Amino acid sequence: MFGRKKKSTPQEVLVAAPLIGKVVSIEQVEDEAFSSKAMGEGIAINPYEGKVVAPFDGTVAHIMEKSKHALVLEHESGIQILIHVGMNTVSLKGEGFTAHAGTGEKMKKGQLLLEFDIEHIQQAGYPVVTPVIVPVGQELIKRVDILQSSNDDTRADMDMLRIVL
């Protein structure tokens, strides 16, 4: 009561682009789990380079340890996002992926989290389009606003999503 401030929850969380590339509408992703928004609302990026950086300060809530193809990141507010590199890339069993952070590690916006070999993934027959979604079932979330349009180019300092709490 005395001297302790209650931790305030932000009204919104801005999610910066975790990859440099071209924006793709989530509805255009060639995987129904993403395109139907069954997994959540979001956007996708067709990457120009094989690097995933932290889109905000927070924690790596989970990285798929064996395949390294997907990360769940948690903002300081408790909101989580999923970054899923490519389609069906779990089949590569980690080939072409290098993790630079592990489950439970703190991260700072812009920090390199994951590298992937675009050419290797494509030669194996998989698309590299990368959904960035806000998974369903997070009670704090009132809505998710998409801040970028299809065919926009992303930059690391560009906000892509606004999550309203």
The residues annotated with a catalytic role in the active site are: 84
| Residue 49 CB partners (closer than 8 Å, separation 6+) | 19, 20, 21, 118
Q: Decide if 29 contacts 87 (C-beta within 8 A).
A: yes
Could you give the maximum distance between any two Cα atoms of the chain, in Å? 62
Query: DSSP secondary-structure letter at 23?
Result: E
| Pair 74, 84: CB distance under 8 Å | no
User: Smallest Cα–Cα separation from 161: which of 17, 1, 33, 48?
Assistant: 17
